[in-house]
Amino acid sequence: MDNEFEKLSTKECYNKLNSSSSGLSSSDVEQRIRQYGKNEVVEKKENAVLKFLKKFWAPVPWMLEITAIITFFIGKDLDTYIILSLLIFNSFISFFQESRASDAVEMLRSRITVKTRVLRNGSWEQIISTELVPGDVVHVRMGDVVPADVKIERGKVEVDQSALTGESNPVRRGEDGEIFSGSIVKKGEATGLVVATGAKTLFGHTAELVSSAKSESHLEKLILSIVKYLAVIDVILVLGLVVFSFIYNVPLIDAIPFSLVVLIASIPVALPATFTIATAYGAIDLSKKGALVTRLNAVEDAASMDSICFDKTGTLTKNELTVQEPVLFESSREDITRYAMLASDESSLDSIDLAIINFGKSAGVNMEGYRITDFTPFEPATKRTQAKVETPDGMITVTKGAPQVLATMCPGIKVDEVMEKARELSLRGYRTIAVAVNDGTTWKFSGLIPMHDPPRDDSKELIGKLRDMGIVPRMITGDSTPIAEEIAKEVGIGQNVSRVSDVISGKTKVDDCNAFAEVFPEDKFSIVKILQKEGHITGMTGDGVNDAPALKQAEVGIAVASATDVAKASASIVLTHEGLTDIVSAVEDGRKIFQRMLTYTLNKIIKTVQVAIFLTTSFFIFRFFVTTPFDIILLLFANDFVTMSIATDNVRFSKNPEKWNVRSLVGSSFSLAMFIVVESFAILIIGMRLGLNNNQIHTFIFDMLVFSGQFTVYMVRERGRFWNSRPSKWLLSATVADIIFISLISWLGILVTAIPLRDILLVLALTFLSMAIIDLGKNYIFRHYGI
């Protein structure tokens, strides 16, 4: 983000904002609130009722609405009510999930709303930070949340802005330095000038990115693509049926309702609800494993995810500095560690000091007899800390800080040699601290202490598992390129590390990068969009405010257990356990759900093609309708809604990302449907030879279509033989219940014309036998089409 005040001194900022170190007057504040607005992220709130009503204005709802209208006009009131209930149910679920995801901006606003000390009318007072304006003079101290972007006039502070910029260590800022809204003061205090408020701050800019981020829905595209192919087949057949009826004087009063019902049968009415049930079932399962799903379609997208971006700090790494083996010059390992500990202050909570003290304690360094008599904290001017220490052998002075500064202080030490070693460590991703000691006569250079933020224990294993699953992992970090290269190497991500500016400018292709360095918050958002533009289904993991826009933009946004509230509200999956291994579970469950939906979709296409071709061609051949429009509507519910139990089926997950290939789906389904059409004609001929009248033939064929639809599910759910895996108890129970129910109404003559029980059992046996025979060649067709 461009910052017009970054290169200006505080005095120049005062002039630019027409302010002074004595603060603003009340009249100045009123005028600036009118000019700049309040110090808050303005959220455009949409009317909840209108937002809910919009759920009925989209391609999938249109299809359900058209279906309801058709069923109403052909006098099927009960069917109309059922379809409308399904439409309302789908819309409510979508509305509820989107409302939860939009909590991200509200989280950002609540984070900004803090109290702050401000100089107004020549005196200090405390106000709510939303009342701040550019030109205000504020004072911050340890523990404060910085209320706006502030240019420091006097004082020194250390601020933790890791959640905002991704920097793993607190940064030190002094006179003319700038601290950003939303960061936390860890040490010191300072007075400064407010240079930006609200959406103009780095924090506010992040909030705007969150509100503008939106991932694309793949479900509607899938359904429309399937319907497009089915509609072409059905329209051709229906037109042929109408023309045939006209030629052979079949009453249009019979042909038109039948044609409309064939078209209705082509619309995957239950598909949205089945997706919802399948993903909800998967979400419940994931919650038991430690991953909370806040946007249901993210579970489905996890199946197709082929690229995932990891924020480095706090996600792949522990977000805590650790000391590596010291590089010795003029001291022993124990001495350099002791001197470094003496030059550190545990009460400061400084990450470097804490890391050194913890390292010394774990190494068992003896500190008995050493007492600090005077301690000088880190000074930006001197770039070092210093302590006077009383030891058993007398007084000494110890210091730690920048290698070049300390090497220059020590006679007899070659500065170039020290800096060369420091550069080598830097290229390996280490931050280097030098240590020196003075025994009263001269300074001696003890050596160098390398430090780095280590990877989490499970990061490398996770990266390996994701690669095995066909997912390309990428790392995103605000750190320098050398540090990014080292961490990427340690966790096994890869060696191709690029500066993010090269990727965004197009100088480097995003697919050629394993990691991105020197990244700002809006860059993460841009990287996700670039990957999506290249056709990748993208995941993003993170923990901080700076990750929130990218988490919301990604198809699969994953917030780790330690994430900020903003990150969790922006993500579609929130991990509740420490570590990242639950990501693998999310992918596995997503791919299982994909397999369930693939089974449902294959079955739906097969049955649609079977019904459309068999019913129309049988009319052409035998010149009568082998079943009734009512039977087709009843079939729609007997098959489509019963087979929704596929959402609970036991399945195996694929080893590679799943992608919906509509041409392959239609091609394989059409090929299998042709065999089932042959089966249907064979059973029709058998029924006609049994001496059944036309009304009984209607029931006979209706039973065949229902039983065939149920058995087809068991054929297409397996890539091996249909008995190779055990279906879920719900799927099996639904099938058995459906067969018993249809058999009973057919035998008793409820809703349909009664036929003998032996004929019902004959249809049942013939459809099962046909399925078992077609199952022998099924795998050849699936392999041919890549299913």
The closest of 261, 316, 340, 248 to 623, measured between CA atoms, is 248
Residue with the two structure tokens 């071709």: 613
Which residue in the list 311, 335, 547, 649 is annotated as catalytic? 311
Give the pLDDT confidence score for residue 336 in this predicted structure. 95
Q: Which part of the chain has CATH 1.20.1110.10?
A: 219-285+586-785
Question: From CA 436, how far away is CA 190, in angstroms rounded?
Answer: 30
291 and 574 Cβ atoms separated by less than 8 Å: yes
pLDDT band at residue 732 using 50, 70 and 90 as cut-offs: very high
Give the pLDDT confidence score for residue 565 in this predicted structure. 60
Collapsed DSSP state (helix, strand, coil) of residue 608:
helix
Q: Please name the amino acid found at residue 495.
A: Q
Give the pLDDT confidence score for residue 495 in this predicted structure. 82
Question: From CA 715, how far away is CA 450, in angstroms rounded?
Answer: 61
Q: Which CATH architecture has domain 322-452?
A: 3-Layer(aba) Sandwich (3.40)
Distances (CA, A) of 703 to 75, 508, 626, 685, 750: 23, 61, 12, 14, 13
Tokens of 730: 């719900």
Residues 6+ apart with CB under 8 A from 272: 60, 64, 86, 90, 219, 223
Query: How many C-beta atoms surround the C-beta of residue 780 within 10 A?
Result: 10
140 and 179 Cβ atoms separated by less than 8 Å: yes
Pick the CATH number of 1-212 from 1.10.150.170, 2.70.150.10, 3.90.550.10, 2.60.200.20: 2.70.150.10
The closest of 205, 293, 784, 197 to 548, measured between CA atoms, is 205
Give the pLDDT confidence score for residue 1 in this predicted structure. 47
Collapsed DSSP state (helix, strand, coil) of residue 499:
strand
- Superfamily, domain 291-319+455-576: HAD superfamily/HAD-like (3.40.50.1000)
Question: How confident is the model over 101-112, as a mean pLDDT?
Answer: 44
pLDDT band at residue 43 using 50, 70 and 90 as cut-offs: low
Question: From CA 147, how far away is CA 140, in angstroms rounded?
Answer: 9
Give the pLDDT confidence score for residue 107 in this predicted structure. 47
Looking at per-residue confidence, does 352 or 399 come out higher?
Answer: 399
Residues 6+ apart with CB under 8 A from 102: none
Question: From CA 212, how far away is CA 205, in angstroms rounded?
Answer: 11
For 417-436, write each residue's pLDDT tens digit: 999 998 888 777 788 999 99
Distances (CA, A) of 49 to 54, 214, 337, 363, 449: 9, 21, 65, 64, 61
Decide if 311 is catalytic: yes
Specify the DSSP class assigned to residue 548.
Answer: H
Give the pLDDT confidence score for residue 111 in this predicted structure. 46
Q: For residue 17, is pLDDT > 60?
A: yes
Q: For residue 736, is pLDDT > 90?
A: yes
Give the pLDDT confidence score for residue 44 in this predicted structure. 60
645 and 730 Cβ atoms separated by less than 8 Å: yes
Question: How confident is the model over 19-28, as a mean pLDDT?
Answer: 88
Question: How confident is the model over 342-352, as a mean pLDDT?
Answer: 78
Tokens of 524: 């993460």
Specify the DSSP class assigned to residue 198.
Answer: G
Which residues is 445 bridged to in the sheet? 436
Residue with the two structure tokens 């369930």: 596
For 314-345, write each residue's pLDDT tens digit: 778 877 788 989 999 999 999 999 999 999 98
pTM of the model: 0.68
Long-range contacts of 75-79 (CB under 8 A, 24+ apart): 76/630, 76/633, 79/633, 79/636, 79/637
Give the pLDDT confidence score for residue 305 in this predicted structure. 92
SS in 3 state form for 682-702?
HHHHHHHHCCCCHHHHHHHHH
Q: For residue 497, is pLDDT > 60?
A: yes
For 119-155, write each residue's pLDDT tens digit: 998 888 888 888 899 999 999 887 677 888 999 998 8
Question: How confident is the model over 375-402, as a mean pLDDT?
Answer: 88
Pick the CATH number of 219-285+586-785 from 1.20.120.520, 3.40.980.10, 1.20.1110.10, 3.40.50.170: 1.20.1110.10
Tokens of 251: 């009453």
Q: For residue 648, is pLDDT > 70?
A: yes
- What is the average pLDDT value for the chain, to the nearest integer? 82
For 57-97, write each residue's pLDDT tens digit: 766 577 667 767 876 776 767 667 766 776 776 677 656 64
Q: Phi and psi for 172 in degrees, rounded to 5?
A: -100, 135
Give the pLDDT confidence score for residue 104 in this predicted structure. 39
Give the pLDDT confidence score for residue 468 in this predicted structure. 93
Question: From CA 309, how far away is CA 488, in angstroms rounded?
Answer: 12
Question: From CA 667, how far away is CA 562, in angstroms rounded?
Answer: 47
Give the pLDDT confidence score for residue 433 in this predicted structure. 93
For 158-205, write each residue's pLDDT tens digit: 887 765 665 556 788 888 889 988 787 877 888 999 998 887 887 676
Give the pLDDT confidence score for residue 143 in this predicted structure. 67
For 665-677, write each residue's pLDDT tens digit: 889 999 999 999 9
Specify the DSSP class assigned to residue 706.
Answer: H
Looking at per-residue confidence, does 270 or 442 come out higher?
Answer: 442
pLDDT band at residue 112 using 50, 70 and 90 as cut-offs: very low
Question: From CA 163, how far away is CA 311, in angstroms rounded?
Answer: 11
Report the percentage of the chain scoring pLDDT > 90: 27
Question: How confident is the model over 732-740, as a mean pLDDT?
Answer: 92
Looking at per-residue confidence, does 268 or 186 come out higher?
Answer: 186
Give the pLDDT confidence score for residue 108 in this predicted structure. 40
Question: From CA 531, how far away is CA 525, in angstroms rounded?
Answer: 10
Q: Which part of the chain has CATH 2.70.150.10?
A: 1-212
